[in-house]
């Protein structure tokens, strides 16, 4: 498992976004996206920062085509959003993020759930 | 028929025409004893109040051309006792300097119409000295923090639900606190648990005695703990309470009153601030990088991530720090659960701007992007170094600038 520091370095080198984790049961988790991946493209556009991600995501409403970097190679992955999606409750989401214990503890030896 | 000499004249100045219109029509309707006029820029306002003296000036700070501050200075030049209400989203140094003037009051945007009405009534009724504000947008600890950080000296009177409390500030310290039931630190904590109400500040008022020995960080930390505890224990929240959600200052170039106007069913200008359908966007704002860099400069910044609840990805970027969430204590999920329950009971789901969770060593803030309902900013702050009020403002700034 790549350390978080190394992940951020990798993401910086590749000019992409570090995937810190996926919430359970979401399209990305089901498609196998996981901690340690570096997100390079969304919907055919480079995602070098949050702003570009937000823009690229806005190109499609039903899902997104992402390109991630893992184990030395680029992988295209198609994500389809759930058709029936309840509005997200920020408090629930925050609770989930906290209880997921994403990256808790020392950044160099923690495991991420995926 | 009454003449303008008998009716009190109120001039509302805001370049946001919809807001000025909304405030003036509602004020005129509810208070026929006031004669309400509007202007949308400083020059017009100055011409109006010169031609026909007014009893109260309500002005926005940021306007094209002559700024609200220039207008106020000019208006006070001809009538030093003119009561003034300043509407602003940010307390800048200029605004702070103005509030040294005793006839100027201060209304933090966004505000609820009732607060505005109360402030107008009071300025015209008593010519009250000091300045007042509506705290629907912030928790009291935030307000206290702002006064402390501005090294204010004075007495802050807080009214809530028929109760009254007073806090004294002295060059950035809090030497004295009192309520009807308590004094000293207990009074401070009692006040901090109040969820909404009004406050007014009497600048330069000195404390009559000293009852508080703890420093302000300790006081606020303990207050946060008690607030969390209160939220955890609460099972049947009152429906009239309004202060729980936190609304950071709105962007200056946005309509900060979209919510206020939208709440008024009669208004033809009602707009929904959120468009649920993602739009195709072609341009990247120039300042995205700068705005994200702001996150790093927040005191106590630990890390930030972007959460896409639609795809499910939690993303970090270079410069965003390595987000290290500490071990969630067993009670924390309960806190979130009870907060959620409170919110759903209050029907507040739509108005949530940001949510804070207090862990032993960190604050975690989550904030939905207004323009993209599925996206959230997630920021962790070191509790010992964080300034929550500033962090919220910085996060709101970043969010604003990321709206594409």
Q: What is the CATH number of the domain that holds B189?
A: 3.40.50.2300
How far, CA to CA in Å, does B252 sit from each of B88, B90, B160?
A: 9, 9, 30
Domain edge (last residue) among B233, B267, B302: B233
Residue B43 and residue B156 in one domain: yes
Among B289, B311, B335, B366, pick the best mutation site for testing chain A contact (most A Cβ within 10 A): B311
Nearest to B9 by CA among B55, B61, B57: B55
Q: Angle at Cα B112 formed by Cα B110 and Cα B118, nearest 5°? A: 120
Nearest to A60 by CA among A77, A36, A85, A42: A42
Q: Is residue B238 part of a domain?
A: no
CA torsion, points B152, B136, B381, A13, in degrees to nearest 10?
Answer: -120
In angstroms, the CA B199 to CA B164 distance is: 10
Structure tokens belonging to residue B391: 């962090």
Residue B187 and residue B40 in one domain: yes
Q: Is residue B270 part of a domain?
A: no
In angstroms, the CA B106 to CA B173 distance is: 22
DSSP label at A101?
T
Residue B204 and residue B125 in one domain: yes
The residues facing B216 across adjacent strands are none
In angstroms, the CA A97 to CA A46 distance is: 26
Could you state, in order of their start, the residue ranges of all structural domains in chain A? 4-100
Residue B219 and residue B305 in one domain: no
The answer, for B275 touching chain A at a CB cutoff of 8 Å, is no
In angstroms, the CA B103 to CA B378 distance is: 41
* pLDDT for res B4: 41
Partner residue opposite B355 with nearest CB, options A11, A26, A94 = A94
Task: Count the neighbouring beta carbons within 10 Å of the beta carbon of residue B59.
Answer: 25
Nearest chain A residue to B280 by CA distance is A59
Question: What percent of chain B clears pLDDT 70, i.e. is strictly above it?
Answer: 61
Contact of B285 with B404, CB cutoff 8 Å = yes
Q: Give B310→chain A minimum CA distance, Å.
A: 6
Alpha helices in B99-151 (DSSP H): 113-126, 140-149
The answer, for B47 touching chain A at a CB cutoff of 8 Å, is no
> Which residues of chain B lie closer than 8 angstroms to A26, CB-CB?
309-313
CA torsion, points B62, B64, B66, B67, in degrees to nearest 10?
Answer: 10
Q: Say if the Cβ atoms of A19 and B314 lie within 8 Å.
A: yes
The answer, for A94 touching chain B at a CB cutoff of 8 Å, is yes
Residue B225 and residue B305 in one domain: no
In CATH, the number for domain A4-100 is: 2.30.42.10
The count of domains in chain B is 2
Q: Would strands B84-88 and B56-60 be described as parallel, antiparallel, or unpaired?
A: parallel
In angstroms, the CA B83 to CA A79 distance is: 59
Q: Say if the Cβ atoms of B308 and A57 lie within 8 Å.
A: yes
Range of the domain at B396: 277-326+361-402
pLDDT, mean of each 10-residue run, chain A (114 residues): 81 89 85 92 92 88 93 92 69 64 38 36
* pLDDT for res B338: 55
Q: E-strand spans in B323-371?
A: 355-358, 362-369
Residue B193 and residue B318 in one domain: no
Q: B235, exposed or middle or buried, with CB in 10 Å at 0-12, 13-18, 19+? A: exposed
Contact of B10 with B55, CB cutoff 8 Å = yes
pLDDT(B242) > 80: no
* pLDDT for res A76: 95
The answer, for A1 touching chain B at a CB cutoff of 8 Å, is no
Q: Which residue has the higher pLDDT, B310 or B195?
A: B310
pLDDT(B104) > 90: no
* pLDDT for res B293: 62
Q: How many angstroms from the chain centroid is the CA of residue B293?
A: 24
Residue B229 and residue B289 in one domain: no
Nearest to A67 by CA among A31, A103, A111: A31
Highest mean pLDDT among A36-50, B234-248, B375-389, B390-404: A36-50
* Phi/psi of residue B97, nearest 5 degrees: -65, -40
Tell me whether the omega of the peptide bond preceding residue A11 falls within 30 degrees of 0, making it cis: no
Residue B285 and residue B214 in one domain: no
* pLDDT for res B186: 93
Q: Is residue B356 part of a domain?
A: no
The answer, for B339 touching chain A at a CB cutoff of 8 Å, is yes
Residue B224 and residue B95 in one domain: yes
The answer, for B358 touching chain A at a CB cutoff of 8 Å, is no
* pLDDT for res B127: 43
Per-residue pLDDT tens over the stretch B261-299: 223 332 333 333 333 333 333 344 434 455 566 666 777
Residue B180 and residue B286 in one domain: no
Among A2, A60, A63, A97, pick the best mutation site for testing chain B contact (most B Cβ within 10 A): A97
In angstroms, the CA B105 to CA B98 distance is: 9
Task: Report the half-sphere exposure of B42 (CA within 13 A, side-chain side).
Answer: 16
> Which residues of chain A lie closer than 8 angstroms to B392, CB-CB?
none
* pLDDT for res B281: 38
Contacts with B2 (C-beta within 8 Å, 6 or more apart), sequence order: none
Chain B 286-305, CB below 8 Å of chain A: which residues? 288-289, 292, 305
pTM score of the predicted model: 0.43
Does ipTM top 0.90?
Answer: no
Q: Which helix (H) or strand (E) holds B301?
A: strand B301-308
Question: What percent of chain B clears pLDDT 90, i.e. is strictly above it?
Answer: 12
Where does the pLDDT of residue B342 fall: very low under 50, low under 70, confident under 90, or very high at 90 and above? low
The answer, for B361 touching chain A at a CB cutoff of 8 Å, is no
Q: Is residue B200 part of a domain?
A: yes
**What's the average model confidence in pLDDT over B332-339?**
49
In angstroms, the CA B154 to CA B171 distance is: 9
Residue B306 and residue B216 in one domain: no
Q: Say if the Cβ atoms of B322 and A4 lie within 8 Å.
A: yes
Partner residue opposite A103 with nearest CB, options B310, B323, B375 = B323
Contact of B356 with B365, CB cutoff 8 Å = yes
Question: What is the average pLDDT score of chain B?
Answer: 69
pLDDT(B377) > 60: yes
The answer, for B370 touching chain A at a CB cutoff of 8 Å, is no
Nearest to B358 by CA among B213, B228, B169, B203: B228
Q: Is residue B334 part of a domain?
A: no
């Amino acid at each position: 498992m790549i350390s978080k520091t190394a992940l951020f370095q990798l993401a910086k080198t590749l000019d992409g976004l570090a995937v810190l984790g996926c919430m359970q049961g979401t399209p990305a988790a089901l498609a196998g996206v996981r901690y340690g991946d570096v997100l390079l493209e969304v919907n055919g556009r480079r995602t070098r920062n949050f702003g570009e991600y937000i823009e690229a995501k806005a190109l499609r409403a039903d899902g997104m085509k992402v390109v991630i970097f893992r184990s030395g190679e680029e992988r295209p992955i198609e994500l389809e959003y759930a058709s029936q999606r309840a509005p997200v409750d920020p408090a629930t989401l925050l609770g989930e993020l906290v209880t997921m214990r994403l990256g808790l503890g020392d950044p160099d030896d923690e495991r991420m759930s995926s | 028929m009454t003449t303008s000499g008998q009716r009190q004249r109120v001039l509302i100045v805001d370049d946001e025409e919809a807001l000025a219109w909304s405030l003036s029509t509602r004020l005129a309707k509810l208070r026929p004893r006031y004669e309400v006029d509007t202007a949308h820029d400083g020059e017009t306002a100055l011409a109006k109040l010169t031609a026909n003296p007014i009893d109260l000036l309500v002005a926005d700070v940021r306007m094209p051309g002559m700024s609200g501050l220039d207008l106020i200075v000019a208006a006070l030049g001809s009538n030093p006792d003119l009561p003034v209400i300043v509407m602003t989203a940010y307390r800048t140094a200029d605004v702070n300097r103005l509030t040294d003037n005793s006839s100027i009051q201060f209304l933090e945007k966004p505000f609820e119409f009732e607060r505005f009405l109360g402030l107008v009534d009071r300025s015209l009724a008593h010519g009250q000295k000091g300045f007042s504000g509506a705290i629907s947008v912030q928790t009291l600890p935030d307000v206290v923090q702002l006064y402390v950080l501005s090294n204010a000296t004075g007495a802050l009177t807080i009214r809530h639900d028929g109760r009254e409390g007073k806090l004294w500030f002295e060059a950035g310290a809090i030497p004295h606190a009192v309520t009807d039931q308590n004094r000293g630190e207990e009074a401070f904590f009692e006040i901090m648990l109040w969820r909404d109400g009004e406050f007014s500040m009497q600048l330069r008022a000195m404390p009559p005695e000293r009852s508080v020995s703890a420093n302000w960080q300790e006081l606020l930390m303990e207050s946060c703990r008690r607030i969390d505890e209160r939220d955890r224990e609460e099972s049947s929240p009152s429906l009239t309470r309004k202060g729980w959600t936190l609304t950071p200052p709105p962007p200056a170039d946005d309509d900060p009153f979209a919510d206020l106007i939208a709440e008024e069913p009669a208004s033809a200008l009602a707009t929904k601030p959120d468009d649920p359908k993602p739009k195709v966007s072609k341009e990247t704002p120039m300042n995205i990088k700068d705005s994200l860099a702001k996150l790093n400069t927040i005191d106590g910044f630990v890390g930030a991530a972007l959460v896409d609840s639609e795809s499910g990805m939690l993303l970090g970027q270079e410069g965003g720090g390595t987000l290290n969430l500490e071990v969630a204590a067993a009670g924390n999920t309960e806190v979130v659960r009870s907060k959620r329950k409170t919110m759903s009971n209050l029907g507040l789901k739509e108005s949530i701007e940001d949510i804070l969770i207090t862990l032993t060593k960190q604050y975690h803030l989550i904030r939905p992007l207004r323009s993209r309902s599925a996206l959230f900013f997630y920021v962790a702050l070191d509790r010992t170094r964080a300034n929550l009020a500033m962090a919220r403002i910085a996060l709101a700034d970043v969010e604003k600038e990321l709206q594409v």
